[in-house]
Amino acid sequence: MDTCKRCFTLSLVFFMVFFEDLGTNVHGFQGEEQIETTVEDFLDHSPHFTTTQGMYDVEEVADDDDDWQMVQAKGNQFVVNGQPFYVNGFNTYWLMVFAADQSTRGKVSELFQQASSVGLTVCRTWAFNDGQWRALQKSPSVYDEEVFKALDFVVSEAKKYKIRLILSLVNNWNAYGGKAQYVKWGNASGLNLTSDDEFFSHPALRSYYKSHVKAVLNRVNTFTNITYKNDPTIFAWELMNEPRCTSDPSGDTLQSWIAEMAAYVKSLDAKHMVEIGLEGFYGPSAPARTQFNPNSYATQVGTDFIRNHQALGVDFASVHIYADSWISPTISDAHLEFTKSWMEAHIEDAEKYLGMPVIFSEFGVSRKDPGYNSSYRDTLINTVYKTLLNSTKKGGSGAGSLLWQLFPDGTDYMDDGYAIVLAKSPSTSNLISLHSTRVAIFNSRCSWKCRWGCRKKNSLEKFLYRDDL
């Protein structure tokens, strides 16, 4: 279907769905005034699963494999099929491990179905488990085929629900192996390594990592028969989850690793985007920006937001937001102020210095924090969404966000305090759903530009950018 016609159809059916829901005659509206009234009514109804699901059903019907193309970075925006692609997404890191056990595999499908029902389009998850229980990589370049098939299932199932994946390739932390496991493997082979940070500098460990990258990118999915590096279901490759190299606060060691590994990934797969996985701390290359760091320690962990993202082969920037971990575990309005200023600083830098999109790829608040309540969580999510929309309406670099983290019901034993179970969190689900709707409409704005008059488009903009989410 012609892209513009497809967008027009999506937008028209979207309004028909909501007009019918509100008891409005879609053929009888007269000009801008009626549209504005309907949009106001729609916002007051705070739509959730049924209304948004109607719209996403349309896209399911309209889409076929020809439309399922790679997402690319173009300037400071993502695009797919010539359309903007702003992201509303989530994290669920343990999908591969759950898929490896038939008794829990259904939870993967359940999660994607629920995420799709509120319009989430990108999921970030682990494509690693090194030397641990249910390891993917049992030792360097030695893989458990059944666990690899579990990752195949995750990728194939994501496509069924039109959800794209950011696949992270190794952990900075010890969970699921991480750089510490690579050091253990190195010492087991006769090396004399004394620091986990030698993961970044020792040639043997760099080669271990490259071998893993090659194995994942060249994997042929046993469910779809599509090689990972050719699969549009994969949104991007993430070099590492939250890399830090505290042994070298100058940042030189980590910068060298990023430059080498980004180039290596691109040498194997020039089609997909690459991102680093950084938390976003400012470093020595931009001393004036360190004022935005949450604390003084953040300048000493060997990362450097602007410099790191200037490495060739890196397509977009990543930032995490954890005021409750970085500032104080007791939640307060100061956390909201930090979140807004932290985001605005990184959006500005992505525009001014990097010329690329930025995704806030982890954010959330823990129920374990003193002073926590669900209303505060909604306020935090609202702050993130509103800050992104403020960037969107100016054509800025704020390209999306990924909640940490979304869980299906019955997986509470995996909860780190941040889990959101949609069925148990109606107000949060409504908030996510409404933002997804706004993002989806913005992603199909071509219909408003080429088929609709400016007066009607202005009514849409009032819906997209109203402050009271």
Cα angle at 237 between 275 and 345, to 5 degrees?
A: 20
| CA 323, chain centre distance (Å) | 19
CA 108 to chain centre: 17
**Token reading at 363:** 């954010």
Which of 160, 175, 170 minimizes the C-alpha distance to 216? 170
Three-class DSSP category at 143:
strand
Query: What pLDDT sits at residue 56?
Result: 39
CATH code for the domain of 439: 3.20.20.80
Instruction: State the pLDDT at residue 441.
Output: 87
Say what the pLDDT of residue 67 is: 76
- What's residue 319's pLDDT? 98
Any domain includes 175: no
Order of strands, edge to edge, in the sheet holding 234-238?
273-275, 234-238, 164-168, 122-126, 87-91, 398-404, 358-363, 317-321
- Alpha-carbon distance of 233 to 266, in angstroms, equals 17
Return the pLDDT at 457: 52
* Rounded Cα gap, residues 304 and 327, in angstroms: 19
Q: In this structure, what DSSP letter does residue 358 have?
A: E
Asked if residue 30 is part of any domain, the answer here is no
Q: For residue 462, tell me if it sits in a domain.
A: no
Residues in CB range of 56: below 8 A, 6 or more apart: 116, 117, 119, 162, 440
With respect to residue 228, please indicate whether it lies within any of the assigned structural domains.
yes
Q: Give the distance, in angstroms, between the CA of residue 214 and the centroid of all CA atoms in the same chain.
A: 23
For the annotated catalytic residues, the residue numbers are 242, 362
Give one DSSP letter per residue of 427-468, joined into a string.
Answer: HHHHHHHHHHHHHHHHHTTHHHHHTS-HHHHHHHHHHHH-S-
Mean pLDDT by 10 residues, the chain (469 residues): 42 39 32 34 35 36 66 96 95 98 98 98 98 97 98 98 98 98 98 98 98 98 98 98 98 98 98 98 97 97 98 98 97 97 98 98 98 97 97 94 97 96 97 96 63 48 56
Tally of domains within the chain: 1
The model's pTM: 0.87
Cα–Cα distance for residue pair 34/25, rounded to 1 Å = 11
> Residue 312 in 3-state DSSP?
coil
Task: For residue 270, tell me if it sits in a domain.
Answer: yes
Residue 268 · residue 280 · CB < 8 Å: no
| 85, 163, 337 from 70: Cα distances, Å | 11, 12, 36
Q: Could you tell me if residue 421 is inside a domain?
A: yes
214: exposed, middle or buried (Cβ count in 10 Å: 0-12, 13-18, 19+):
middle
pLDDT at 460: 56
- Domain, as residue range, for 355: 72-169+203-446
Answer whether residue 325 is part of any domain: yes
Q: What is the pLDDT of residue 145?
A: 98
**194 inside domain:** no
pLDDT value of position 155? 98
Instruction: Please answer whether residues 70 and 272 qualify as being in contact, where contact means their C-beta atoms are separated by less than 8 angstroms.
Output: yes
